[in-house]
Amino acid sequence: MHTSTMTSILKVMILVFCGTLICQGQDNYEREFRIKKSQFPDIPLDSSLAGHNIKRKRFYKEVDSLGTNYILKFKKDRLHYALSFDKDGTLKKTGFRVNEVDIPDETFLAMENHLSASFNKFSIKRIYQQYSIHDGNDQSILTSTFQNLLLPSIIYKLVVIGKKDGIKNEYDFWFNAEGHLINKRIALPMNHDHILY
């Protein structure tokens, strides 16, 4: 094979590789792994964060293009909660799972309209009502979370299976309290190799 032919093939391979990297870099992906409690950052005792009657505690590490979060998931008073921390154990956001009926009608309609415009077909797997820390007041955000307060600053996270042009993916969508889109990303399936039983 001639040197010029090999050089041409090498150039094409480099272009294809770089193009693939650029295309992948445009999507915001995340993946969640179940981890041991010992791999979780040091945080205050669970009871001091969430009170009593905590059940089914699980620890997760979430990695996406923006960084790494650590999530404590548990059940309390029939609700499924999630507390998100950074690597230093600082509380960043809280939330719990809700249903469509728990969301104001106008807000849910706005979210549903956006999803209908984005996909040929979709289904909502889960909805979370989230609270973010703005002033560093952990106790304030925890009080709001466990009292299920409908504040103007809350965010709804929807886990959606969407199909468009014959391609089906799982997505995370974030909407504000009025139902306007804030952000979205493709959610990669959980890595079951790392699940701890």
Please tell me the predicted confidence (pLDDT) of residue 8. 53
pLDDT tens-digit readout, 135-179 = 556 678 888 898 888 899 999 999 999 999 999 999 999 999 999
Compute the residue count for the chain. Answer: 197
Provide the 3-class DSSP secondary structure of residue 5: helix
Please tell me the predicted confidence (pLDDT) of residue 25. 41
Residue 46 C-alpha from the chain's centroid: 22
Note down the domain range covering 184. 3-194
To the question of pTM greater than 0.85 for the whole model, the response is no
What's the structural domain count of the chain?
Answer: 1
* Structural contact between residues 70 and 62, judged by C-beta atoms closer than 8 angstroms: yes
Please tell me the predicted confidence (pLDDT) of residue 29. 62
Please state, in angstroms and as integers, the Cα–Cα distance from residue 154 to each residue in 84, 148, 172, following that order: 15, 10, 16
Q: How far apart are CA 136 and CA 26, in angstroms?
A: 31
Please tell me the predicted confidence (pLDDT) of residue 103. 97
Residues of the chain short of pLDDT 70, as ranges, are 1-30, 44-52, 134-138, 188-197
CATH of the domain at 26: 3.10.450
